[in-house]
Structure 1
Amino acid sequence: MKVEQKPFGTLDGQRIQAYTIRNDHHLEITCLNYGCVITKILTPDRTGNFENIVLGFADIESYETESPYFGAVIGRVAGRIKDGQFELDGKSYTVTKNENGNHLHGGRKGFHRVVWDAAVIDKGGDETGVRFAYTSPNGEEGYPGTVMLTVSYTLNNNNEFLIHYQAQSYQTTLLNMTNHSYFNLSGNLQRDVLQHRLKIDSDKFLELNEQLLPTGKLLDVSGTVFDLRSGRQIQEGVCSDHPQIELAGRGYDHPFLLNKNHDREIVLWEEESGRTLTIETDAVGVVLYTGNQLSETMDVHGVKSKKYLGLCLETQGLPDAIHHSNFPSFVLEKDETFSSRTKYTFGIA
């Protein structure tokens, strides 16, 4: 087990470092102190061939100017906040409106566009990683309260990758963090994700409106392409005539309410490579996004980007919960400690 550190470039005079976490089975995860971005994850296929299974760029400039949140930690609030406004403790707040008059993924300079402090975690033996820290000042992107944050990435010899989010605020605020990695288990982007199969243990998904904001309705997955409880090929959903699929740009971009936690509740696999990804979390939900809006102008590790080149499984609270009393709250009270864990296990079918 070891962590290697290398320069990745400079941004506004700040040095960007790449950290590669490697276990004894040669599985590798590379991440940056910029946005806690995960740039590469190298895992073996069924023949033992190690290839990258996430979308990313080779230079920091592309992350700054082109990235659709590739591999980044999102916050303060993942997803959309309607009209960029909310009330908290009797006061009204306006946060950055960076998408169609709404607030998206923490604003123009959310957690994904800041340089975090980084330190190697040396647990000895079978686990190692990197801990990132950032202080989000009061008023950043319009949010109240100064928030102290840490994000830990650790890898062990069971091929388990753990993300641990922690935060504490000096004032009541909102917090709903996630990681926005785009996965493609074919390896080195040899194929798109339409042939991937996905299982999500969820009976309910959120209905969205034309702005991809939750209407407040939790819809039953039964009898629809949103029923992923037994596994379903992504292409089945993309090619369906379900109005919610059409609304989201011919694909999924929907939050699911999880039935259980830390019990193989999300499983992704790709038959040709044999690779599997199992996700277990304490978050109440997961947003499935199948890359419906990916631009065709980007160079992604030497491959031209296109729709469905990768998919996101964003474990988090339900989006826009501040406007829906029937959703679990993501209000972070003053001096309360926030803690959330998501585990990714890489395997072979």
Structure 2
Amino acid sequence: MMTITEKDFGQGYRLITLTNKQGLQLAVTDLGARIVRLTANQRELILGFDSAQEYLTKDPYIGASIGRTAGRIENGRFSFEEQSYQLQTDPKTGHSLHGGSPGFETKKWSYQLSENEEESSVKFLTTIPDGEHGFPGNLSVEVCYTLTQENIWRIKTRAISDKETLFNPTNHVYFNLTGDVTQPIDQHTLWLDSNHFAPLRTDSIPIGKKATVAGTPFDFQTPQKLATVFSSDFEQKKYFDGIDHPFFLNHPGLENISAWLLSPDEKIKISVSTDCPSIVVFTANFGEDTPEMYGKKLANHGGITFETQVAPGAEQYPTFGDIRLAPHTTFETVTEFKIDFREDV
């Protein structure tokens, strides 16, 4: 059987934990429709904090639902036909980040629980008012997290707007399969079914091209340890001290695996399937400025994201994809993370 438990998470928020018959646990909270823990046989597989307050004060993006638009929009500007829009921008960069702050990540979402023999789910719901951070349209959003008996964590995001708008959500989970936040991810092995990535300017805005990964350390079509990137002198890596780039998927679709990550001891493997056309891979390039988690200081490169979405920049570069959402049209996207773990982890 699946079990669902609830408890207080502080500041009026709740922590909901789903457990399957294999003992895999998925803990989520209504603060930002966020994943807090993913635990296999007592080994913690993701980054997170012990309380709502820590997310609010240390890093509200970790594990959170991100929106309306994941990533950066240059100068916070976009237009539909004749109509131009100016979004709220980050005063430090002059660009819009993750749809403006505060965004999805700090909202208190309502939620509904459901379960059967095969899976259990938490569906988070919220509404975003027309004009918030400059975006048109009243937007209704639901993010449904499901844990199955087959050790799949599924994220289904749906939305509908009453005006034409932009919508490009993602989830900002960070994986560290060692279970120890003081350990960097450099000895993890990554495979990524992508032969093109989006080169960025030093301010993280895409230049608008799709560049081949061939001959670069960003070629993970043959599995390689992340250390090969961190030790390289590749210019795109040096800009950010790691990876913080969109990768265009060769074979998107839930029937395909688009990425996998293997723990250094080879006991845990996470496989990613998505209907999204790209994945933003970010290797937690925080330098010395890392938060404390569970009483320990997070290592630089202490996690890796698989932010499944349309590549940032799509609002100005049509080859990246289309993030316009027509009025009264249901948006839906699904990403699945399959967790394989040996019993002796």
Tell me which interval the TM-score lies in, with the shorter structure as reference length: over 0.9
Q: Tell me the residue number matched to 2:251.
A: 260
**Deviation (angstroms), 1:190:** 5.6
In 1, Cα distance between equivalents of 2:72 and 2:307: 13
Q: Secondary structure at the match of 1:319?
A: coil
**Deviation (angstroms), 1:306:** 2.9
1:40 to 31, 37, 40: 37
Where does the alignment leave 5 or more consecutive residues of structure 2 unmatched? none
Amino acid aligned to 1:266? A
Q: Is the 8 A contact 1:77 1:175 kept in 2?
A: yes
Poorly superposed stretches of 4+, deviation over 3 Å: 294-297
1:20 to 17, 20, 23: 17
Are 1:205 and 2:205 matched, yes or no?
A: no
Q: TM-score, normalised by structure 1?
A: 0.94
Are 1:74 and 2:66 matched, yes or no?
A: yes
1:62 to 54, 62, 65: 54
Are 1:237 and 2:218 matched, yes or no?
A: no
Per-residue Cα deviation, 1:7-36 (whole angstroms, up to 9, x for no partner): 1112xxxx2000001101110011100101
What does 1:1-349 align with in structure 2 at a 5 Å threshold? 1-10=2-11, 15-44=12-41, 50-67=42-59, 69-98=61-90, 99-122=92-115, 124-189=116-181, 191-248=183-240, 250-261=241-252, 262=254, 263-272=256-265, 274-293=267-286, 296-348=289-341
In 2, Cα distance between equivalents of 1:278 and 1:217: 27
Q: Secondary structure at the match of 2:75?
A: helix
**Deviation (angstroms), 1:325:** 2.4
Q: Secondary structure at the match of 2:50?
A: coil
Q: Is the 8 A contact 1:117 1:133 kept in 2?
A: yes
Q: Tell me the residue number matched to 1:47.
A: none
Out of 268-277 and 131-140, give the one that drifted further: 268-277
In 2, Cα distance between equivalents of 1:336 and 1:224: 40
Q: Is the 8 A contact 1:55 1:71 kept in 2?
A: yes
In 2, Cα distance between equivalents of 1:70 and 1:294: 16
Q: Is the 8 A contact 1:187 1:273 kept in 2?
A: no
Q: Is the 8 A contact 2:182 2:297 kept in 1?
A: no
Amino acid aligned to 1:331? R
Where does the alignment leave 5 or more consecutive residues of structure 1 unmatched? 45-49
In 1, Cα distance between equivalents of 2:266 and 2:260: 15
**Deviation (angstroms), 1:91:** 1.0
**Deviation (angstroms), 1:293:** 2.1
RMSD: 1.3
